[in-house]
Amino acid sequence: MGYLSTDRKKITAKTLREMKVAKEKIAQITAYDFTTAKIFDEAGIDSILVGDSASNVMCGNDTTLPISLDEMIYHAKSVAKACSRAFVVCDMPFGSYQVSREEGVRNAIRIMKESGVDAVKLEGGSEIIDTVKGILAAGIPVVGHLGLTPQSVHKFGGYGVRAKEEAEADKLLKDAKLLNDAGVCALVLEKVPRSLAAEVSKQIEAPTIGIGAGCDTDGQVLVYADALGMTHEFKPKFLRHFANVSKCMTAGITDYMKCVKEQTFPNADESY
């Protein structure tokens, strides 16, 4: 399994490129807190994304829009503290980089200074390329994000597959090349046709990380609560449940309640 099984060395932006060249797939997952991130890091995950999906998963919001920069820094700091190996990426939340290049650079610097993550992620292509260049010029690794960019859900009118039409697919390919030429260290492709994701992955040097983008990207990312079966109502075609954590937690909490009610917990050995 390459890096996963043999190497405990810290994964960097450079490692991600080397993995693409070596054709070793990058396994990325989201996390938002210390305890969960520590489990994933010790299991050998290559990269952890502190996604703004924290807005949905941690705060119960319908979209990623409400989460603030301070809240993202809080989550990112907890995750970064837990990781000795995984490459940790923090999403820049909605509103923290769209207004101006200067504000985007300032907020990216805040994330790096206050959280200790390895890179920031921004959604968009040509519209934000100056800001991406400014952040890179400040010495901060940047991950791009194209296709279904959830911060634009109201513009798209939903969470459907993007770039099915030629014009949008052409723009996506151009944006991917722009971001690649600017020097992004990876590019997330969300909910786009497999053939388009394969073409982008072939045409750029930066590793692509897909979610709902087929198997030809250089890596995959999933939201951990979905991948591990903590959520069941959200079941898009691209999602696979790799565990049934909600079942396991329900069984555990039911047993705990029962033991408390029956007064079998705590027993003599569990008392001082």
Beta strands, E only, the chain: 26-30, 47-50, 87-91, 119-121, 142-147, 186-190, 208-211, 219-222
CB of 128 vs ligand KIV, minimal distance in Å:
15
CB of 54 vs ligand KIV, minimal distance in Å:
7
Ligand-binding annotation for 46, yes or no, is no
| List 102, 190, 262, 270, catalytic entry | 190
Counting beta carbons within 10 angstroms of the beta carbon of residue 63, is it exposed (0 to 12), middle (13 to 18) or buried (19 or more)? middle
Phi, psi of 47 (to 5 degrees): -150, 145
Ligand-binding annotation for 71, yes or no, is no
Number of residues that bind ligand KIV (CB under 6 A): 11
* Cβ distance to ligand KIV smaller for residue 21 or 236: 236
Say if CB 231 and CB 30 are below 8 A apart: no
Q: Which residue is nearest to ligand KIV (CB)?
A: 51
Applying CB under 6 A, which part among 45-53, 104-112, 175-183, 236-244 lies near ligand KIV?
45-53
52 touching ligand KIV, by CB under 6 A: yes
Ligand-binding annotation for 91, yes or no, is yes
Active-site residue flag, 190: yes
* Cβ distance to ligand KIV smaller for residue 41 or 52: 52
Nearest to 57 by CA among 236, 230, 256: 230
For residue 39, give both structure tokens: 């489990």
Quote helix, strand, coil % in the chain, to nearest 5. Answer: 45, 15, 40
Q: State which of positions 171-200 bind ligand KIV (CB under 6 A).
A: 188, 190
Contacting ligand KIV (CB under 6 A), which of 73, 146, 211, 230?
211
218 touching ligand KIV, by CB under 6 A: no
51 touching ligand KIV, by CB under 6 A: yes
Say if CB 28 and CB 4 are below 8 A apart: no
* Cβ distance to ligand KIV smaller for residue 51 or 134: 51
Say if CB 40 and CB 59 are below 8 A apart: no
Q: For residues 229 and 57, what is the distance between their CA atoms, to the nearest angstrom? A: 13
Binding residues: 52-53, 91, 121, 123
Catalytic residues, by residue number, are 190
Q: For binding to ligand KIV (CB under 6 A), which residues are involved?
A: 30, 49, 51-53, 91, 188, 190, 211, 221, 223
